[in-house]
């Protein structure tokens, strides 16, 4: 997957109290994603954009849009990714 397509899939990171707890305790990241993206697309996009290995992707459709909760492999830390994004 190329970076341009990955940027179209991953819209924006979610920043809430709940997501900060998920980052710290569960090694998960949360993003708003394109409605047409599959779990495989989301996994590939996160791996390309942030140079990490994804273990699992959960997707939630809401009236506002589609949310993806991405669990990283144990050798990668969600806190490091968030700090690169400048959210912490």
**pLDDT for the residue 88:** 74
Give the mean pLDDT of 6-13: 96
pLDDT > 90: percent of the chain: 92
Mean pLDDT of all residues belonging to the chain = 95
28-46 pLDDT per residue, tens: 999 999 999 999 999 999 9
- Give the global pTM: 0.93
Residues with Cβ < 8 Å from 50, sequence gap 6 or more? 81, 84
> Could you give the number of structural domains in the chain?
1
Q: What is the pLDDT of residue 37?
A: 95
Domain that residue 65 falls in = 3-85
How far is C-alpha 12 from the chain's CA centre?
A: 9
CATH at residue 78: 3.30.70.330
């Amino acid at each position: 997957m190329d970076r341009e397509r990955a940027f179209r899939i991953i819209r924006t990171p979610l920043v809430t109290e709940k997501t900060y707890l998920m980052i710290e305790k569960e090694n998960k990241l949360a993003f708003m994603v394109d409605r047409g993206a599959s779990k495989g697309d989301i996994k590939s996009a996160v791996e390309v954009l942030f140079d990490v290995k994804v273990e699992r992707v959960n997707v939630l459709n809401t009236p506002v849009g589609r949310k993806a909760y991405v669990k990283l492999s144990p050798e990668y830390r969600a806190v490091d990714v968030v700090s690169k994004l400048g959210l912490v």
